[in-house]
Structure 1
Amino acid sequence: MINVMKAVKILAIVITLLWIGCIGNVVAAEAGESALGPGDALRVFVYGHPDMTTETKVSETGKITFPLLGEIVVDGLTPSAAERKIANLLESRDILRKPQVMIVTASLQSQMVSVLGNVRNQGRYPIEGKRSLTEILAMAGGVVPEGGELVVLIRADGNKFIKEVIDIQEMVRAGDLSPDLIIQSNDFIYVERAPRFYIYGEVQRAGAYRLERNMTVIQALSVGGGLTQRGTERGLKIQRRDTEGNLQIFAPKSSDLVQPDDVIYIKESLF
């Protein structure tokens, strides 16, 4: 009998310590909590009252159903604020004295961000707590080799949309993470394809190639393997569209910068 009582006391102490640990983790994370919304799956615990343990989902109207309390509006509240609201309701209605409520978010379907474009795994991702742009890109598997350095972020602001273009490579080069924005629910992230140029004619490897930053014409020729024996730089031409879409054809210098979608053509030498 004494051993049974000791076991019960030890179990009670363990449960209390676990509860305190959970409460401590929740308090520490509260500053970075995401607000609850329709579709979020929750588990609600009341310390010392396992019969009140409830698994519920936030309805389209932003409510959950809880034993003895009925429907409770939690839309827009953080889990910690929802805990306090439930505890206050239990106490104000003389159901429990000083109840300790804990909410565990099984899934936050209302806090999602869309990631598309040239990433390894396109899709919708949950944002629990504060997540930066680079963290979300990492969750999506990172940028694929065909991806570019520019990331487009579109965010709703009331009745309008705001577009931000973030240069990831420049951010890293400058060592300035201020452009690494904190992502919000329903943000849309699109990773652009890397710019390309095209080279054909008397080169070793004609084709389409990734345009590196500040690439010159001579560097572009080297990417194509250089000229063939019949090729000549005197016959080098570039086809380029201007801002109005008109095609321009001109003879560039070897030090000129190549622009996105340029077509470099190497003519055959006549001698």
Structure 2
Amino acid sequence: MSKLLQTILAVALAASAAVAGAQNAPKALASNDYKLGAGDTIKIQVYQNPDLSMEARVSESGSISYPLVGSVSVGGLTISDAEKKIAAALKQKDILKQPQVNINVAQVRGNQVSVVGQVNRPGRIPLETFNMRVSEVIAAAGGISPTGDETVVVSGMRNGQPFRKEVDLGAMNAGQQVDDVIIMSGDTISVNKAPTYYVYGEAQKPGAYKVERGMTVMQALAASGGPTPRGTTNRLKLTRTGPNGQQVEMQPRMNDVVQPGDVLFVRESLF
């Protein structure tokens, strides 16, 4: 084999290995909106100065230890601002005249939000960007579980003051205008159990069911499988708790809207 052919083959193999490595490498977070926090692991690269490139973890105090520079506080800074601060430190220490610094977040641990209650994967969710919204965090938590309410509660701090906001994700999914608020680090998103109604008597599947948005009596009965062969829809009884806490009985129409806590009783047919 000629030296030229050997050289071409070596270059081709190296390029192939580089592509494979890039495909298999973990995807680094590169959003400039993201604010660095304690526990984040960052990769710092300095153009044409590989000796100054390194991987560092942001400490609990929000700083990193950087060679020849010392401690640099980057907690709370965007990636772009952290790049500028490290570049300024290198220039101030007369290490480089025109440093070009690039930062990628290799692992997120600092800016997180807690998602609790009726979601498919409750727990702590990393905020991948500074402007991550409620709906995006809920999606990252696997979505609302079948028993969960579509109205979620966001609580936390804003400008040093307690913050609480209800967000109706069901209305947003229906195309309505909803204030899908931006989530901040340390927030908690709570998804409560959805309100229920009850069906008993001569129903195929008596029990408790989730109240869907705009659900009618007919839809509520259909969810329970409808009446048994012995039951009838002609003499339904609905028991509802009034504003004063008293139980009110009525004979509902099929297009009446079901309310949380309603009890539908399917009577036995007279014939």
TM over 0.5: yes
More helix by share: 1
Distance change (3 Å), C-alpha of 1:234 and 1:49: closer
1:161 maps to a residue whose letter is P
Secondary structure of the residue that 1:81 maps to in structure 2? helix
Distance change (3 Å), C-alpha of 1:225 and 1:106: closer
Structure 1 residue 266, shift from structure 2 partner: 3.4
2:172 is the counterpart of 1:171 = yes
Structure 1 residue 142, shift from structure 2 partner: 2.1
Structure 1 residue 194, shift from structure 2 partner: 2.9
Structure 1 residue 199, shift from structure 2 partner: 0.9
2:223 maps to a residue whose letter is V
Question: Contact conserved, 1:40 with 1:109, CA < 8 A, in 2?
Answer: yes
Per-residue CA deviation, residues 235-266 of structure 1 (Å, 9 max, x unaligned), is 6433333456x341412322432211222223
Moved more, 261-270 or 94-103: 261-270
Per-residue CA deviation, residues 198-249 of structure 1 (Å, 9 max, x unaligned), is 11112232112222222233443343333345545676433333456x3414
Structure 1 residue 40, shift from structure 2 partner: 1.6
2:152 is the counterpart of 1:146 = no
Structure 1 residue 93, shift from structure 2 partner: 2.0
Secondary structure of the residue that 1:153 maps to in structure 2? strand
Which residue number in structure 2 is paired with residue 99 of structure 1? 99
Question: Contact conserved, 2:40 with 2:57, CA < 8 A, in 1?
Answer: yes
CA distance, structure 2, for counterparts of residue 138 and residue 155 of structure 1? 20
2:139 maps to a residue whose letter is A
Which residue number in structure 2 is paired with residue 52 of structure 1? 52
The ranges of structure 1 where at least 4 consecutive aligned residues each deviate by more than 6 angstroms after the TM superposition are none
Equivalent positions of 1:130-145 (< 5 A) are 130-145=131-146
CA distance, structure 1, for counterparts of residue 176 and residue 248 of structure 2? 39
Structure 1 residue 270, shift from structure 2 partner: 6.6
Per-residue CA deviation, residues 111-142 of structure 1 (Å, 9 max, x unaligned), is 11222222221121111223222222222222
Number of aligned residue pairs: give it: 246
2:164 is the counterpart of 1:160 = no
Question: Contact conserved, 2:113 with 2:125, CA < 8 A, in 1?
Answer: yes
1:253 maps to a residue whose letter is P
CA distance, structure 2, for counterparts of residue 121 and residue 162 of structure 1? 24
CA distance, structure 1, for counterparts of residue 91 and residue 222 of structure 2? 77
Distance change (3 Å), C-alpha of 1:215 and 1:252: farther
Equivalent positions of 1:27-66 (< 5 A) are 29-30=31-32, 33-66=33-66
Distance change (3 Å), C-alpha of 1:209 and 1:65: same
Distance change (3 Å), C-alpha of 1:251 and 1:41: same
Question: Contact conserved, 1:237 with 1:249, CA < 8 A, in 2?
Answer: no
Structure 1 residue 56, shift from structure 2 partner: 1.7
More strand by share: 1
CA distance, structure 1, for counterparts of residue 236 and residue 202 of structure 2? 10
Question: Contact conserved, 2:242 with 2:248, CA < 8 A, in 1?
Answer: no
CA distance, structure 2, for counterparts of residue 259 and residue 205 of structure 1? 19
Runs of at least 5 residues in structure 1 that lack an aligned partner in the other structure: 15-25
Which residue number in structure 1 is paired with residue 266 of structure 2? 266
CA RMSD of aligned residues (A): 3.1
Runs of at least 5 residues in structure 2 that lack an aligned partner in the other structure: 16-27
Per-residue CA deviation, residues 83-132 of structure 1 (Å, 9 max, x unaligned), is 21121121122222111222221223221122222222112111122322
Distance change (3 Å), C-alpha of 1:243 and 1:249: closer
Distance change (3 Å), C-alpha of 1:53 and 1:243: farther
Per-residue CA deviation, residues 27-59 of structure 1 (Å, 9 max, x unaligned), is x943xx222222221222222222222222122
Counting aligned pairs with the same residue, the percent is 42
Secondary structure of the residue that 1:136 maps to in structure 2? helix
